[in-house]
Structure 1
């Protein structure tokens, strides 16, 4: 009897403990949901041009904090090394600008040809605009770091991709909207490209280049103090919160522009499920291109003195295109992600802030951005476990920590900042 009474008394306590642990583990999604609700009922607060001038306070300030953390945590030599990782740059550029946009153009054209009255053609145009954009500025850097990917390489991809995107994205959009059946969405605005390039360079300069440069200076002048600061404050969590603020601003702008109310409900439902599916498809394509099995099969053995001249040079040229796990995670996050920062600038520059269908274009862009972050957050734990296979010593250490109870339930991951400098970007050392 006493045991039964004791169990009943402990039930509320157990529930509170479970609820607390659940909130700690899922704080990202809970906080994001709260901010989306705020954006719905008070869109003027954090929209572009709104009360807090979010295009500056969040678009520059919050993003700058994310890249300041990157500058403080990454080694200068590692940064310079990854700047020269031209194979990864080439792979991500091809995926980001050509493959993803071509796939989306084919799918959008097929869907539009079905003449379904429930699917708005401007929503499809919004998807096409989204997929012509380069990789996102902030979210993939945060996710790559959380998944123990090569965050240094990810940072370089953000810089290269968005600089090129200012030129390439408008040209690709013009090409696709010049095709038969898409003339209604052709902005035909050549004068907007110069304005777009100026906006992108200002965004990258103030929110990416300057914070990284400042972080590198502080890190090299005060290495011990910097390391202690990052460890004590868990500054990487601040980056995740800043990412939520970026999404908060995007949703506020979309709600203010009546992006979700001006689009048929069937189109919104279609977007929600379609975006998740297309993001997972893009991620799979990125994985296949980052670790092509035929390449690893053909060049499975390192050249030796008995190897032919052709095999030695072919191995040297092509084998490094089979990336290690850390670089592959970077490719998957960067190749599949699309930036809302450049996307909003692209839409407003080419179509105008008073464009009649601006809300419908933004609906596709904002929903894709939010869903790619949510989906990527789920994939982080999967990628992290997969990447650890390259580091058996960390797996053994993790098991020992679990046995001795040293792992903190609030943060059970091995920080990417502690292992990223151990990554070997030379794929010749990659094992099958």
Structure 2
């Protein structure tokens, strides 16, 4: 009996077994995609459990309720006022990404490959115009040790503005050749779009975040017990909710025949294209978050009596655009990410009643969502080590080092993490580059 127990324990603690267990998120994602393929009516929009409400609102709201419970109000407000970071992320998320994807799509269109469906190219452009994702970037930023408070603020601001910016960009890119055929309906659906997005952002992001803040400040003792319970038993609510959100997106896509409406060659092209532009935009986001020339131009703080007035004022304005590592991680997750939770509503509403090509339009967005989550999860461990280098260089204990490198996709903030993030977010706009 003891020999059997020893053998089981040896297998359970084997590095391969530990690695497989740490990838539980992707195993469950594969299972849910299979279920969505054969039973799409269960979790789709308008399906058996009314996925647009139970998952689209409920699961997202739970994620932001967790965020509200774990974030200090002062730090949250400090990040809400960090206009430099918001400007950088919004320009990346809406203008730069959509313009680059539009250029690539023009090149593909000019190649005139019959295997690439014309409406899939429109779907790629629409995907690029969508705001940053609602849930996954908050979870990934938290797990990587980045500035999750800034990420929450950006989700709220980006998706609120997306209701206005996304339709405008869609019109701009499709009101002339070569994509004039995909110009969305202007008379139907656009008016209702704003109300729908405002309601979804308000009820699933703002209200639960506000409720979480109220509970945290009014009942700090019970909040601490709740978060401690989740941490003690490794209950990863954020990751569970993210799985359900992706499950609903795939169910809707399968129900609408998204993956059967285009050729296999076209789907393969979309997969590689999405992966390539996500990696490219992540690298571009890093260059925008930590531009090397700012360090060259402003190598040191102004010295009283020696530095010119021009240098002092220029340093004060431009140097904060070289962000701390915590803020840079947030920018690298928010900049390339695109939402499917609101993106489906944005695309569906723009095209009004003309939905014969809706399945093709949604293919790039749904595939981009799963690819960005998988790739971002890979980046989490890299960003963790990137931040940990500074902790080790400072001689501090790395409190985020665990024996298991499993993605801690949870909004459970310990005292040490909360103190570190509070200092980072309060000083982020004026911090000196490490």
TM-score, structure 1 normalization: 0.92
Query: Which of 200, 223, 228 is matched with 2:225 structurally?
Result: 228
Q: CA deviation at 1:36?
A: 0.7
Per the TM alignment, residue 15 of structure 1 is displaced from its structure 2 partner at its CA by 3.6
**Whole-Å Cα distance in 1 between the matches of residues 395 and 24 of structure 2?**
26
- After superposition, the Cα gap between the structure-2 partners of 1:42 and 1:354, relative to the gap in structure 1 and judged at 3 Å, is farther
Q: Number of matched residues?
A: 422
Aligned to 1:421: 422
Match of 1:317 in 2: 317
Match of 2:377 in 1: 377
Distance 1:394 1:419 in 2: 14
Q: Distance between the aligned counterparts of 2:269 and 2:397, measured in 1?
A: 45
Larger mean Cα displacement after TM superposition, 329-338 or 21-30: 21-30
Q: Which residue of 1 aligns with 2:251?
A: 252
Q: Which is worse superposed, 125-134 or 186-195?
A: 186-195
Matched, 1:239 2:238: yes
2-side partners of 1:285 and 1:17: how far apart? 39
C-alpha spacing 1:229/1:28, structure 2 compared with 1 (3 Å): same
My pick for the range that moved more, 321-330 or 388-397, is 388-397
Q: What's the CA shift string for 1:13-32, capped at 9, x where partnerless?
A: 64444365234311111111
Cα distance between partner residues in 2 of 1:52 and 1:15 = 40
**Offset, 1:213:** 0.8
Give, in angstroms, the shift of residue 274 of structure 1: 1.1
CA contact (8 A) 2:42 2:49 kept: yes
Q: Which residue of 2 aligns with 1:430?
A: 432
**CA offsets per residue over residues 28-53 of structure 1, 9 Å max, x none?**
11111111111011001000000000
Matched, 1:93 2:90: yes
Matches within 5 A, 1:294-313: 294-305=293-304, 306-313=306-313
Cα drift, residue 340 of structure 1: 1.0
SS in structure 2 of the partner of residue 397 of structure 1: coil
Q: CA deviation at 1:126?
A: 0.5
Q: Aligned Cα RMSD in Å?
A: 2.4
- C-alpha contact (below 8 Å) 1:254/1:366 kept by paired residues: yes
Residues 291 and 44 from structure 1, CA distance in 2 versus in 1: closer, same or farther, beyond 3 angstroms? same
Output the CA distance in 1 between the equivalents of 2:324 and 2:183.
41
1:160 matched to which residue of 2? 157
Q: 2:184 corresponds to which residue? A: 187
Partner Cα distance (1:367, 1:353) in 2: 24
Sort the Cα spacing of 1:315 and 1:345 in 2 relative to 1 into closer, same or farther, 3 A. Answer: same
Aligned CA distance change for structure 1 residues 91 and 162 (closer, same or farther; 3 Å): same
Q: Deviations over 1:78-134 (max 9, x none)?
A: 011111100011111111110000000000110111011111111111010000011
In the alignment, is the contact (CA less than 8 A) between 2:391 and 2:397 conserved in 1?
no
- Stretches of structure 1 that go unaligned for 5 or more consecutive residues are 1-5
Structure-to-structure mapping, 1:113-128, within 5 angstroms: 113-128=110-125
Report the Cα distance in structure 1 between the residues aligned to 2:184 and 2:363, rounded to whole angstroms. Answer: 18
**TM-score where L is the length of structure 2:** 0.91
Partner Cα separation in structure 2 for residue 215 and residue 8 of structure 1 = 48
Cα distance in 1 between the residues matched to 2:404 and 2:152: 29
**Aligned pair partner of 2:208 in 206, 211, 217:** 211
What's the counterpart of residue 68 of structure 2? Answer: 71
Are the equivalent residues in 1 in contact too, given 2:188–2:352 (CA < 8 A)? Answer: no
Deviation at 1:259, TM superposition (A): 0.6
Question: What are the Cα deviations for residues 276-335 of structure 1, in whole angstroms up to 9, with x where unaligned?
Answer: 110011111111011100011111110012000100000001001110001111111111
CA distance in 1, matches of 2:184, 2:243: 31
Q: Cα distance 1:189–1:270, how it changes in 2: closer, same or farther (>3 A)?
A: same
